[in-house]
Amino acid sequence: MNISKQEAIEEIIKYFNWDRVHKAMVALDWKWATNEEYTVPTHGDLVIHALNLLHSAYDGAMKEKTNYSTGTGGFYARAFVDEETKDIYELKLSFELCSWEHYKED
């Protein structure tokens, strides 16, 4: 059984540390393009942007029946699908300043 999209999104929005992300963006002067200008996003902008990404990740995983991720502006939303049942068991939102990954395929 899939996790509830609405409940998962509401919990993420409620407990995500929006202040920490906003402080980092202000400190780094991290600006987003809005119309014809570049500005550091407001708390409201961050939430709206994250909501769109979370909906997109969940809907993509439902459609594709596999793990699905999407991201932009520092945010990444990921939905994880159980390989056997094809149900979504986790929805995740992160804000990344830096990452590195290396793996070797068999």
* Strand positions, DSSP E, 7-66: 32-34, 37-39
Domain count, the chain: 1
Which residue pairs from 20-29 have beta carbons closer than 8 angstroms and sit at least 24 positions apart in sequence? Answer: 21/46, 21/74, 21/95, 22/46, 24/95, 24/97, 25/74, 28/97
Q: Tell me the pTM.
A: 0.91
Q: Is residue 63 part of a domain?
A: yes
Q: Is residue 42 part of a domain?
A: yes
Q: Is residue 10 part of a domain?
A: yes
Q: Is residue 20 part of a domain?
A: yes
pLDDT confidence bin for 27, thresholds 50/70/90: very high
3-state secondary structure (DSSP) of residue 93 = strand
Which pLDDT tens digit goes with each residue over 37-73? 999 999 999 999 999 999 999 999 999 999 999 999 9
Domain containing 83 equals 5-95
Q: Is residue 75 part of a domain?
A: yes
Mean pLDDT taken over the chain: 95
